[in-house]
Structure 1
Amino acid sequence: MTFEQMWADLHPVGRSSSSGGYFRQPFSSAERECLAWFLEEAHRRELRVESDGFGNVVAWWDPPAPSATPGVLTGSHLDSVLDGGAYDGPLGVVSSLAAIDLMRERGVTPTRPVGVGAFVEEEGSRFGLACLGSRLATGVMGADRAAALTDPDGVRLGDAWDAAGLDPTTGSDLLAGVGCFVELHVEQGRDLVERERAVGAASMIWPHGRYRFDFTGQANHAGTTRMEDRVDPMLTYAATALAAAEQAGLAGQRATFGRLEVAPNGTNAIPSRVTAWLDARSGTDEGLAALLATIEERAHDRAASDGTSLSVTPESVSGAVAFDDDLTARIVAGHDWPVIPTMAGHDAGILAAAGVPTAMLFVRNPTGISHSPEESAPMADCLAGVEALADTLERLAG
């Protein structure tokens, strides 16, 4: 089956008729439908499927004769952010299957296993922790801690596992036979557009973190309370968001408050509490720490002025990840693919940090927009990505 046909089959799953965006949250009906599609495609190609107790799946193309050489893993994820784009994640999975088809058409016989992986909950859109499936698969995070995570509706991940028929107590040895990992992904920026290249490779992932800011004040009447008598945590939050944007802009970094919870959340009530989540990113670990320290300092200064209180809790922090130089050099040799950094987190970063030699390929995104229905990639560039991945896998496993 061609890339175009697979993409057409997967394209409508979980898509909103109103916004055109995707809602493929982990263990939801749409995401499970995507997984069923993946398993069907693996079966169509007679690939050997392995899974773990967390929801991660790998479909293996085995060599004709047993090989003691560790396998080459590719793939990505099938889940999306809320109202997300079509390409972030699924492009890597569909391209991996299409790359195997292309290698077979070329008459390639692998001398080591080639796996196509689909990691669960890469976006962190339901249980709040990005790259959760790969963190569990690599042992970076324990099952007990993960099971206690809850979604916005209060559903525990442990209960979601039960409902999906998964048993996390079985652990995971899904990556035991993996010698290297190559993830293809749509670019989440405009670097390749500006370079006029359809395909590129990654040099590193910027360090990034997610932090919860709890602003506490005093609930009161919006009409009867004089402005000078208020203890309003919304004002402290608003000043903090502006300070974060200012500081990140001055330093060429990234700071985004993208999620907010307000209590009591009434139009005519001064809030008693505002909880906001900051996503911060920088080119270096030291830069990230300095950015957060400055934002915190500005927030505490404003809280003192407003009479509110503030606590800051890091929920996840990932240091800078440099991809394997030798593997990347081997992949790009003989091609005109630029090697560029990425500011977005990926499962590839988790595997690289866990000691698996890892590289990434990017496919051009003409809008530069991601995590949005406007995310895109021309079909010609997608097919160029399939060919680039097939060349890479053939070089590594052919």
Structure 2
Amino acid sequence: MWRELAPIGRHCGSGGYRRFAWTGADAECRAWFERQAVARGLAYEVDRNGNQWAWLGDPARGDAVVAGSHLDSVPDGGAFDGPLGVVSAFAALDELRGRGARFDRPFGIVNFGDEEGARFGLACVGSRLAAGQLTVAAAHALTDADGVTLPQAMAAAGHDPDAIGADRERLDRIGAFVELHVEQGRALDLSGDPVGVASAIWPHGRWRFDFRGEANHAGTTRLVDRRDPMLSYAETVLAARREARLAGAVATFGKIAVEPNGVNAVPSLVRGWLDSRAEDQATLDTVVDGIEKAAREYADAHGVDLDVVRESFTPVVEFDDALRDELARVLGRDTGLKVPVLGTGAGHDAGILSAALPTAMLFVRNPTGVSHSPAESATEDDCVAGVRALADVLEGLARK
């Protein structure tokens, strides 16, 4: 499975993946998912929001156990973020069938669409729509960098954009969702454990900073006469690092757009996107407020106007206590060892769905801690350990 999926959407120059929602690479990944489902005799379907499902047993019975993740990527992302969870879900089913495991509850595998938000700027679109956390109007307003709207992209890929929306009936059929994911950090590497259990997802969000100055000639405009938004933006980037370091949080300006974007022109607009995350809401508020306060001071000093827009936000997610404890119990049963329970600053579909149904996450060790990069990795032994752990957990849930 891994060898078949690995070439899809891989960029020959960077070595990273460009599997963006509703593109050709995404379609290839979706075709791969369907083939895996059909090869195992599972009932395959696509829901109103473009999420893919593969079912063993009738999901209409309710109380289903579901595993999976996503197949899309960030720009030049790694091979493991998302796909490891989908591949592991199919592999766990194979493992359970090999054991002759009994399923008393329906079992499903899911590929949620547009989890990374790389194309339209909003993460977890598929699960947000299903959970009713993204309105149809807001989804229809999403636009990519080329001006293509989400409805246009969906229609071009053969999906009906007018059908999207909350899917409460489907989610009500699910009794538990378990998402396996490569760890996006080094906690397991430092502890020496191949697999861990998630405790919570930090609150996090994305803010757009629009610095508006005055376009002018780079060679003839005196420095004192300039209203250069790039200066205010650059100082704000440094302020973000400072505020995050002082608070024990993280803050990143990772995307920028400049107008008119000419080498010999003072910019008229610098638009930067801030991603910030912290262990708790109060800390996150402190960091973002501090960054915005500094940005406004810098803008005033350079005669620049500033608008700040919060484009997305996810509050802290505490995973279901009973399900989390069950995962830790099952994983520690054979070894007698305490299973690491980890918090994470990365968002996931499991976090979005946690408000609607019991969810939990397993992490597989990442020896470098690098993620959202071609350097993202996990050893084959650890991946196998993750599959077996997921199979153990699913077997326990499916027989209840």
Q: 2:72 maps to what in 1?
A: 79
CA contact (8 A) 2:183 2:363 kept: yes
Distance 1:301 1:137 in 2: 41
The TM-score, its normalising length taken from structure 1, stands at: 0.96
For the pair 1:50 / 2:45, whether they are aligned, the reply is yes
The TM-score, its normalising length taken from structure 2, stands at: 0.95
Q: 1:324 maps to what in 2?
A: 320
Q: 2:34 maps to what in 1?
A: 39
Distance 1:143 1:74 in 2: 26
Distance 2:177 2:262 in 1: 49
Q: 1:61 maps to what in 2?
A: 56
Q: Residues 115-167 of structure 1, C-alpha deviation per residue, up to 9 Å, x if partnerless?
A: 10100000000011001110001111122320221111111100111112222
Q: Match for 1:182: what amino acid? A: V
Aligned-partner SS, 1:73: strand
Q: 1:302 maps to what in 2?
A: 298
Distance 1:169 1:176 in 2: 22
Q: Residues 88-110 of structure 1, C-alpha deviation per residue, up to 9 Å, x if partnerless?
A: 00000000000000000000120
How far has the Cα of 1:176 moved from its partner? Answer: 3.1
How far has the Cα of 1:287 moved from its partner? Answer: 1.1
Q: Residues 60-94 of structure 1, C-alpha deviation per residue, up to 9 Å, x if partnerless?
A: 1117xx98451011100000000000000000000
Distance 2:88 2:179 in 1: 10
For the pair 1:104 / 2:106, whether they are aligned, the reply is no
Q: Residues 263-318 of structure 1, C-alpha deviation per residue, up to 9 Å, x if partnerless?
A: 00001110000000000111111111111111010011111111101010000011
Distance 1:181 1:323 in 2: 11
Aligned-partner SS, 2:300: helix
Distance 1:326 1:332 in 2: 10
Distance 1:168 1:220 in 2: 43
CA contact (8 A) 1:149 1:156 kept: yes
Distance 1:324 1:205 in 2: 12
Distance 1:119 1:67 in 2: 20
CA contact (8 A) 1:143 1:168 kept: no
CA contact (8 A) 1:58 1:174 kept: no
Distance 2:281 2:56 in 1: 38
Q: Match for 1:394: what amino acid? A: E
CA contact (8 A) 1:93 1:118 kept: yes
Q: 2:4 maps to what in 1?
A: 9
Aligned match for 1:130, one of 123, 131, 134: 123
For the pair 1:266 / 2:262, whether they are aligned, the reply is yes
CA contact (8 A) 1:365 1:377 kept: yes
For the pair 1:396 / 2:392, whether they are aligned, the reply is no
Distance 1:178 1:127 in 2: 28
Cα distance change on mapping 1:159 and 1:67 into 2, 3 Å? closer
Q: 1:3 maps to what in 2?
A: none
Q: Match for 1:236: what amino acid? A: S
Distance 1:169 1:150 in 2: 16
Q: Residues 326-359 of structure 1, C-alpha deviation per residue, up to 9 Å, x if partnerless?
A: 101111105142100011000000001x231110
Q: 1:217 maps to what in 2?
A: 213
Q: Match for 1:358: what amino acid? A: T
Q: Residues 15-47 of structure 1, C-alpha deviation per residue, up to 9 Å, x if partnerless?
A: 111111001001111111011011001000011
Aligned match for 1:116, one of 99, 102, 109: 109
Q: Residues 235-267 of structure 1, C-alpha deviation per residue, up to 9 Å, x if partnerless?
A: 000000000101101111010000000000001
Distance 1:387 1:229 in 2: 65
Aligned-partner SS, 1:50: strand
CA contact (8 A) 1:108 1:394 kept: yes
Aligned match for 2:352, one of 338, 350, 361: 350
Stretches of 4+ aligned residues off by more than 3 angstroms: 66-69, 168-174
Q: Unaligned stretches of 5+ in structure 2?
A: none
For the pair 1:386 / 2:387, whether they are aligned, the reply is yes
Distance 2:49 2:61 in 1: 27
CA contact (8 A) 2:171 2:356 kept: no
Distance 2:142 2:327 in 1: 38
Distance 2:44 2:170 in 1: 10
How far has the Cα of 1:179 moved from its partner? Answer: 1.0
Aligned-partner SS, 1:16: coil
- Percent identity (aligned): 55
Aligned match for 2:16, one of 4, 17, 21: 21
CA contact (8 A) 1:67 1:112 kept: no
Distance 2:188 2:252 in 1: 24
How far has the Cα of 1:362 moved from its partner? Answer: 0.3
Distance 1:332 1:304 in 2: 53
Distance 2:349 2:386 in 1: 18
Distance 1:169 1:60 in 2: 25
CA contact (8 A) 2:20 2:74 kept: yes
Q: 2:83 maps to what in 1?
A: 90
Give the alignment of 1:84-233 within 5 angstroms: 84-170=77-163, 171=165, 172=167, 173-233=169-229
Distance 1:183 1:394 in 2: 15
CA contact (8 A) 1:77 1:118 kept: yes
